[in-house]
Amino acid sequence: MRRAAVYHFADGAGPGAGLADALGLPGQMIDVRRFPDGESLVRVAHGATTALLFRSLDHPNEKLVELLLAAAALRDMGAKRVVLVVPYLAYMRQDMAFLPGQAISQRVITQLIAAHCDGLVTVDPHLHRTPSLQAISPELECAYVSAASTLADLLRPDLVPGTVLVGPDSESRPWVESVARPLGCPVIVGEKTRFGDRDVTLTLPGIEQVAGQRVVLVDDMISTGGTLLHSAAQLLAAGATGVEAVTAHCLASHDDLARLKAGGIERVRATDTVAGPTVAAAMAPALAEAIRGTWGADL
């Protein structure tokens, strides 16, 4: 039996193989057969003592079931340790019941993973009030990877002197500052005032700094891009010569991306945590470094 291997699905074949290469480990595609009623039959061909099970969880519902089946199959094949490598980890937004009767999805999914896997590796999980996923499931060994240095490296080659990096809201502050620091770029961060579910105002203190400068909007996630559109409109009105955006996780649809372009955002670039037309940087090197640092003795 192999000491360690990376197992991935067809929908993440490129990044999964990239992680295997970065770790110097064999990679194996997981075979999935789907029945007419929607059930999945999952098969792994070879076992390993330490199994790194790779899959990003955009469009998560079907993928989650297949991950759990794969984890069970790997155990049956002799795996002593199953580490789930999930570049984008879904269901993290709902960390409390905002209305009576709501499920706290962050807790449910974390506990589900902990019941089937020994470890978890993820990129910039969308945690707000939760300090770490170990606070929910202490038995789950976690490694958190930041995409900040990867995005800084992505921006560096064609960065125009004087470029201002902008975080669209206060939650983005530590994130945009982490990207800006190695680049030596000034930072401004937006402030949201919420009057209701759909009634939100956005202000950008220090926006006068962008006059005559290019701007890069930086956030950990782009969902529909609504906040970015509001930010871009204000930045362009304040004299920015151009606006683009970078993010770790781009979940925006083709229609969302078209609206961003029509709203003055020249391009959107993202890491490969989620497949799509915005992918411009691979997370495999950073993921491999985190895995070696946490489970290196088992590889």
List pLDDT tens digits, range 56-82.
999 999 999 999 999 999 999 999 999
Cα 265 → chain centroid: 21
pLDDT surpasses 70 at 153? yes
**Is 192 annotated in the active site?**
yes
Residue-range domains of the chain with CATH? 2-146+283-298 (3.40.50.2020), 148-280 (3.40.50.2020)
At residue 169, the pLDDT reads: 84
pLDDT digits (tens, 9 = 90+) for 155-178: 999 999 999 999 988 888 888 999
226-237 and 254-262 helices cross at what angle (nearest 10)? Answer: 10
pLDDT digits (tens, 9 = 90+) for 243-296: 999 999 999 999 999 999 999 999 999 999 999 999 999 999 999 999 999 999
pLDDT surpasses 80 at 224? yes
15 near 54, Cβ under 8 Å? yes
Give the pair of three-digit tokens for residue 299.
């590889």
pLDDT surpasses 60 at 182? yes
pLDDT digits (tens, 9 = 90+) for 121-132: 999 998 878 888
pLDDT surpasses 70 at 197? no
**In the 3-class helix/strand/coil scheme, how is 36-91 assigned residue by residue?**
CCCCEEEECCCCEEEEEEECCCCCHHHHHHHHHHHHHHHHHCCCCEEEEEECCCCC
SS3 226: helix
Catalytic residue among 63, 80, 192, 261: 192
If pLDDT is split at 50, 70 and 90, which confidence band does 200 have?
low
At residue 192, the pLDDT reads: 75
Helices (H) and strands (E) in the chain, counts: 8, 16
pLDDT digits (tens, 9 = 90+) for 93-140: 888 888 899 999 999 999 999 999 999 999 999 887 888 888 899 999
